[in-house]
Amino acid sequence: MIAANMRPSPIPVWIRLLLLSAAAGMIGGLFIVGAQPVAVGFFQPPVDKVAHGGVFALLAILLWYGSNRQSALGVFVVVVLVGALDEWHQRYLPGRSADLLDLAADAIEAGVVLMVFRAIREKSSRQR
């Protein structure tokens, strides 16, 4: 007999490691590629907010599944911290600037994606 509140089946370790590696690569890319002159003005407002949201939503998804869907709040905190560090880093780059609206876009999109994925997980658990 399967309990109604059972967690979904675990994600294999090798897949989780792959997802976490991809997330680490994305974070590294934010800081390395973001420091290059080509990054200056690459996305113009308001498209830059959409780009921020997309990147950080993908980061949230990778971390969510990489952590075996264990802590949406923990993933959200990590994503927001990465966004804050990215904005802080941009303050010191020629032609770049920190923008609280960029950080807000990062947080909002990551939060929305995590709420949706968590709701899907809970619905799936209830149907078992």
pLDDT digits (tens, 9 = 90+) for 60-100: 999 999 999 989 999 999 999 999 999 999 999 898 888 89
Per-domain boundaries in the chain: 15-127
Neighbour-count burial of 89, counting CB atoms closer than 10 A to its CB (0-12 exposed, 13-18 middle, 19+ buried): middle
Helices (H), the chain: 13-33, 47-66, 72-90, 100-127
DSSP, res 96: -
pTM for the full predicted model: 0.86
**Is the model's pLDDT at 2 over the cut of 70?**
no
Which tokens hold the place of 9? 């089946």
